[in-house]
Amino acid sequence: MNRPRILDGKAVSAAVIEECREETAALIAMGITPGLAVVLVGSDPASQVYVGSKARTCAGLGFHSLKIELPEETTQAELLQVVRELNADPAVHGILVQFPLPQHISEETVIRALDPRKDVDGFHPENVAKLVLEDPSG
């Protein structure tokens, strides 16, 4: 019988960040600065902390980081327009829409609007399918 293992979260995190640092340095050496856009709708304090943490990590890795803060009353159409603009922006390689969204916005619709290649969370149905199928291309 296999015994449960306790993972050292800090050690795993440090290893992942170091791997990202090396990959980022290689991209920058080729003239590519990775770009992450984070979209936050509303002013949830926990989301603010999480998004701030991502921005600091990106800065430490040498990423270009873009934080888009939208008011709680942002409409779904307005948010989808922001997502379309980020999808089309060649300087943005990854998009993270911070959940939860206000109740009047469909998270599923927003997820489906993301370019699967820029979907940082991996929530787009195409990315979920690749994960389930263990498809290495995703």
Q: Specify whether 54 is catalytic.
A: yes
Rg, C-alpha atoms of the chain: 17
Structure tokens at 88: 């089309």
76: left (phi over 0), alpha (psi -120 to 50) or beta: alpha
Closest CA to 74 of 100, 102, 111, 37: 102
Catalytic choice (54, 67, 89, 130) = 54
List 44, 89, 115, 121, catalytic entry? 121
Tell me the β-bridge partners of 64. Answer: 35
The number of CA neighbours under 13 Å toward the Cβ of 74 is 23
Active site residue 121: yes
Give the residue numbers marked as catalytic: 54, 98, 121
